[in-house]
Structure 1
């Protein structure tokens, strides 16, 4: 299937590692020029080189998407290298192994709430502001946010601010879908379950999360997700064929979430 992405310009914020890297690789395979970002220079450079070594076009940018300056730096780098972005995929930074803030409402500080809002909500705000005007001019655009199944099934077993506050992004993306749909711009969320990425391996080693046995029991397909499966779904959401699919939160979790909608 030709996804119609040849010569499109894609920004994958948080696209250097794990599922983000798989998204960057898949979009490049489909012919898009990819600007991928991260905060670890060696990993960012290695992913960009990986894509270029297979004939793709890629630029790695080391920047912090959770700040206005970082977001502007990312989009300006894309404009200079390839032109105004047609596609924005935002894969915001979550907690690292060892981060244990926000467990229990009364244990959440103001700083916990504000930091989480910057990570999951404001990063999308800052980047989207930079790309929407050019997308409107072109009459074509794709916005994809990588989030969590906690959007569908909030729960108390994980830290409140790290999991349940992500739901705010669902309202924002639904509004973007309605406001800019007439300009050929779609906005969707991928709500992820457990994926076997480098970060997941770090978590397992930290023994600070659910273990292998838990997921083997709770995920109906009896395995973790593969990053390439994330890349394939996001590439489709960015395609010409997905032009009528917008305002949705799509679970990619092996059936882990038990809610109907």
Structure 2
């Protein structure tokens, strides 16, 4: 670890979407820096073993439901484990031509990324303000908020809104001692992300790395260390900022990694949808 093992000593960090992927990567780093951790997600079957490996609290919470968020925070407070720090990581995304997206498909992303992020931030922020404790929030965005990106419009729109929340609440809640920052990561390979966003691609991480100015993809240590720093007292005068964590890839490629799909026709899109549905069906079968 680059940071001291007590860099987050005394902190209680809530990580939404903390059972897998980037959320779990960051949670491990927070524990290594001395924090207590609580992870949220919708699937108990995923959260329970992840929390056991972290020695962390967990709750199955649908953050799209504001009342469920309030109830979960109340349980944490009743247990003497009210979060002092928050990482908004829970998200959803899928690859599609925008003209093919249904209202239900749009809501599947926006309800989690935009509404869910606000529900948790709002509920926890109100408690911090009432208690006079201050707090720190890190939200996980995407580099597409800077460049735009085709074929992921619900995610791009929702993440841009979260960035707006970050900047606005940094101003509004700063006097209460609450800091809000964001990270826009590039490609940090996880199995679920690659299966849904690069369906059928051979070695997508390797191809992406070859085009990256630093010639590599991101790692768990990259995002975990940055998130831990932004939550720590070492970043006590940093708020309202978004840090791109992608080896300058967004500057090198402009509109991001999805321009490759501009040449696809109906057949290619149909094949991609079939591959993604197969991944989703496999996940549902595993949860049954």
1:122 matched to 2:115: yes
* Separation of aligned partners in 1, 2:198 and 2:152: 19
Give the TM-score, by structure 2 length.
0.78
Counterparts of 1:200-215 in structure 2 under 5 Å?
A: 200-203=193-196, 206-207=199-200, 211-215=204-208
- Residues 168 and 10 from structure 1, CA distance in 2 versus in 1: closer, same or farther, beyond 3 angstroms? same
Instruction: Pick which of 77-86 and 137-146 moved more.
Output: 77-86
Superposition deviation, residue 209 in structure 1: 9.7
Whether contact under 8 Å (1:17, 1:198) holds in the other structure is no
Q: Secondary structure at the match of 2:238?
A: coil
Superposition deviation, residue 65 in structure 1: 1.6
Superposition deviation, residue 100 in structure 1: 4.1
Higher helix share: 2
1:141 matched to 2:139: no
Counterparts of 1:104-253 in structure 2 under 5 Å?
A: 104=98, 106-136=99-129, 137-156=131-150, 158-203=151-196, 206-207=199-200, 211-253=204-246
Whether contact under 8 Å (1:155, 1:164) holds in the other structure is no
Superposition deviation, residue 77 in structure 1: 3.2
* Separation of aligned partners in 2, 1:205 and 1:170: 25
Aligned residues: 249
- Residues 81 and 32 from structure 1, CA distance in 2 versus in 1: closer, same or farther, beyond 3 angstroms? farther
Q: Which residue of 2 aligns with 1:90?
A: 88
Whether contact under 8 Å (2:135, 2:177) holds in the other structure is yes
Unaligned runs of 5+ in 2: 255-288
Cα-to-partner distance string for 1:3-22 (whole Å, 9 max, x where unaligned): 65222221111111121012
Superposition deviation, residue 42 in structure 1: 2.8
Q: Secondary structure at the match of 2:147?
A: coil
Whether contact under 8 Å (2:63, 2:69) holds in the other structure is yes
Cα-to-partner distance string for 1:52-91 (whole Å, 9 max, x where unaligned): 2xxxxx1011122222133224322321333322101111
